[in-house]
Amino acid sequence: MRSQVLFAPTAVLLNTFRMKVEGLRSPYQKVANLYHLGRMLDKIRLRQAERLPAEYLPNFGLVAGLDGQLCGFLGVEFSAVCERVRQGGTDDEIAEWCFQHGLRTSKMQVRIWNESARKFGYDDVAAKFLARIKAEDGLEHRTDIVTTFDLIDLREGRGEGSEASASLESPSPLR
């Protein structure tokens, strides 16, 4: 039977506001032109080195989270990516392995993934989760925190607000 839990209980998540984790990139930093891939690889490496903080473990590789969404998009199993990371290699080598064993993304597919990923938590399945975390952190008043990327970067001390939130609130005209 598949678990119905979409996200781990928030009480165990990043309760240390502005927690800086050495070696953990922003989800905005791209690897192979994809948002979140570098961060996912960082989390896997940190976990394998037993340096990923306990607060991150409940959502590590979670199907409904960004790790699972990216692996699902690429058509690779998270556990297989973990094993490939365990074997060593650069980010680009591991990305190439993902493309060889799953989806080799076109420019349009990369664009679709990146737009979906950067908006994760904005009026979608993760929105209630994001609202709950914001409430626990006393951030309900922060209208600039509208996506998971925004919250991650704020909590990890990478700035006030995000690159994405402004474009979500005022869409640019089609070109």
Q: Taking the chain (175 residues) in consecutive chunks of 10 residues, what is each chunk's mean pLDDT?
A: 39 52 96 98 98 92 94 98 98 98 98 97 92 91 94 86 44 39
- Kindly calculate the radius of gyration of the chain based on its CA atoms and give it in whole angstroms: 16
- Within-domain flag for 8: no
Report the C-alpha gap between 138 and 141 in whole angstroms.
8
pLDDT, position 160: 55
pTM of the predicted model as reported, rounded to 2 decimal places: 0.82
Task: Identify whether 37 is part of a domain.
Answer: yes
Give a yes or no: residue 70 inside a domain: yes
Residue 69 maps to a domain: yes
Range of 162's domain? 13-169
Bridge partners (DSSP) listed for residue 34: 31
Identify whether 4 is part of a domain. no
* pLDDT score for 165: 45
34: helix, coil or strand? strand
Domain assignment of residue 174, yes or no? no
